[in-house]
Amino acid sequence: MSGSPLAGRRVALLHPAWHSCGTYRVVLGQIAAYRALGAEASPIAISTDPGFLPQRRWLWRSFLTATPELDGSPRHLGGAPLHVLFEPGFFGGVVWPYLHGDQAAIRLGLVSRARFSPGVEEAEYDLVHCNHFFLMPAARRLARGRAPILLDTHDLQARQFALINERMPWLRPRVTYEEMLAQELAAMRGADLLLHLNAREAEEFRGLLPKKRHALLYPPTPPAPTGPGGPDIVIVSSDNTANVESLIWFLREVAPRAPGVEVKIAGSVADGVRARAGELYAAYKNWFLGRVAEPGAVYAGARLVLLPTIGGTGLSIKTVEAMSSGLPLIATPQALRGMDDAALALPGVTIVETAEAFAAALRAAAVAPPPSDSQRASSAARAYYERRFSLAAYRAGLQALAAPLMAAVS
């Protein structure tokens, strides 16, 4: 972008080597924003699994295949060699705590020993944009004490780790939430600016780290198509604990109360439901589409989106994507967590708190006329998305925050 203070600046954009999830959608928006501002954004995917050295491309095949959006520029990768697990100091300080459930220690430990694609570590960067606290060891290496570090926190991760650990057979004594939180906060102190994706997260971290600089910037989320429409009632969801529990609740408590209504369920959440509730998956097998290459196509051919969210923390990216489609939504209050009060009063967004109310709203919406393309494009939910979550809104906010950081060290 001509005249942008980021024009020609080199940005290392670190992100976990994940795909088919909210974080990946956010990262795509970050890359697009930096490049629209004229910056040379270099995405660097870092694995938190041992053995994923950059040169072992066969190990990365699943990630590379599932992320074709990153093929337009050189692929930069990072990962730790397998042998570090057996080094005495690493085993005692990282692996042993992990066997007791320390999700923070294992991620920080592996990332601190990551090796990068050729040229990554030798390059000079004007800004390092880091996603998730556990990539901070890599961010600090690439910043070399010269480039400022902007850290996107992506929710309070110790809380997510504690949820994961509830169902894991770790050795005792189990690591505590407080122990993992202490590591998270220690890593975050190395950043120059903490960027938060939702209002609740920003408030919590301001209280936990009052001496750090904080900013609230809703994430950029690529818009879903607002047409051409179709007959489908859809749920789009990935495979994580909260999403799986939410979908199981919907299939057990809501779907039987709306007989004759069929729903298409897109995304990797199918894997989690199959593993956690095999009989329920079998009963609704025809509803599951599995992983889809482009979620936007699901919204394009839909008439209604369901957001039966009963768990999870942080901003729900799938809710933002659903809003951008302009489709009518039926959602629980939890689906709109992290948004302001205006989201709870949007026309076309039906908020329900019980299974009975969800089913009643679903039965009514299933026989209502589907919205036209023009109605979707001009819907209140689409307008809300444009003001808060569009690439244009994010680009303006990012420039306002990043430019002073770089100017301070120039």
Same domain? For 366 and 400 the reply is: no
Residues 6 or more apart whose Cβ sits within 8 Å of residue 374: none
Same domain? For 237 and 196 the reply is: no
Statement: residue 24 has pLDDT above 80:
yes
Residues 6 or more apart whose Cβ sits within 8 Å of residue 252: 280
Same domain? For 378 and 395 the reply is: no
The model's pLDDT over 124-178, given as tens digits with 9 standing for 90+, comes to 999 999 999 999 999 999 999 999 999 999 989 999 899 899 989 999 999 999 9
State whether residue 8 is helix, strand or coil: coil
CB 55 within 8 A of CB 39: no
Q: Are strands 115-116 and 76-79 parallel, antiparallel or unpaired?
A: antiparallel
CB 224 within 8 A of CB 252: no
Q: Which pair of tokens denotes residue 219?
A: 């994430």
- How many alpha carbons fall within 13 Å on the CB side of residue 125? 28
Same domain? For 74 and 113 the reply is: yes
Same domain? For 211 and 319 the reply is: no
- 225 in a structural domain: no
Q: Which pair of tokens denotes residue 7?
A: 């024009």
Look over the chain and give the mean of its residue pLDDT values, rounded to a whole number.
Answer: 95
- 227 in a structural domain: no
What kind and span of H or E run contains 331? strand 329-331
- 289 in a structural domain: yes
Same domain? For 384 and 395 the reply is: no
What kind and span of H or E run contains 266? strand 264-266
Q: How many domains does the chain have?
A: 2
CA distance 31 to 78: 18
pLDDT higher at 103 or 29: 103
CA distance 380 to 263: 24
The model's pLDDT over 200-217, given as tens digits with 9 standing for 90+, comes to 899 999 999 999 999 999
Statement: residue 221 has pLDDT above 80:
yes
Q: Considering just the CA atoms, what is the radius of gyration of the chain in Å? A: 22
- 2 in a structural domain: no
Confidence bin at 1 (pLDDT 50/70/90): low
Q: Which alpha helices (H) appear in 277-330, and where do they start and end? A: 278-283, 295-300, 317-324
Range(s) of the domain holding residue 275: 232-388
Same domain? For 361 and 399 the reply is: no
What is the CATH classification number for the domain harbouring 89? 3.40.50.2000
State whether residue 26 is helix, strand or coil: helix
The model's pLDDT over 279-323, given as tens digits with 9 standing for 90+, comes to 999 999 999 999 998 899 999 999 999 999 998 877 888 999 999
- 95 in a structural domain: yes
Same domain? For 141 and 271 the reply is: no
Statement: residue 410 has pLDDT above 80:
no
Percent of the chain, pLDDT > 90? 88
CA distance 43 to 102: 28
- 5 in a structural domain: no
Same domain? For 185 and 273 the reply is: no
7 C-beta neighbours (distance < 10 Å), count: 12
CA distance 46 to 53: 10
pLDDT reported for residue 7: 96
16 C-beta neighbours (distance < 10 Å), count: 21
Statement: residue 199 has pLDDT above 90:
no
